[in-house]
Structure 1
Amino acid sequence: MQNLPDTGRLGASPTPSPSYTDHAAEPSEPDAGDATETSSPASDPTEESFKAVSAGDCLEVYDTGRGGDRIDWSADVPPAPVPCHIQAAGLVQVTSTTDTTCPTGAGKASWAYTSDVSGETSKLCVTRIYHKYYCVLGKRVGDKTLLGSMTAVDCKAQRIPAAYNRIIHITGVYQAPPNASTRNCAQGPNDQTQYLAWLVDDDKLLLCAKIYQGG
Structure 2
Amino acid sequence: MELSIDTSTRQASIGLSEGGNILAKTSWKSKQNHSKECFPKIINLLEEANSKSSDIDSVFVSKGPGGFSALRVGISIAKSFATAAKIPLIGVCSLDIEAYEFLNNNKTVWAVISAGFNKIYVKKYTDNLENPCELISTEKFFSYLVGKEIICGEGVLENLNNFKSEIPNSTIIPKMTNPTRKPEILSKIGINKILSKKIDNPETLEPIYIGGSQHASAKKK
Question: TM tier, shorter chain?
Answer: under 0.3
Larger radius of gyration: 1
Q: Which has the higher contact order (CA 8 A, sep 6+)?
A: 2
Output the TM-score relative to the length of structure 1.
Answer: 0.26
- Which structure carries more helix by proportion? 2
Output the TM-score relative to the length of structure 2.
Answer: 0.25
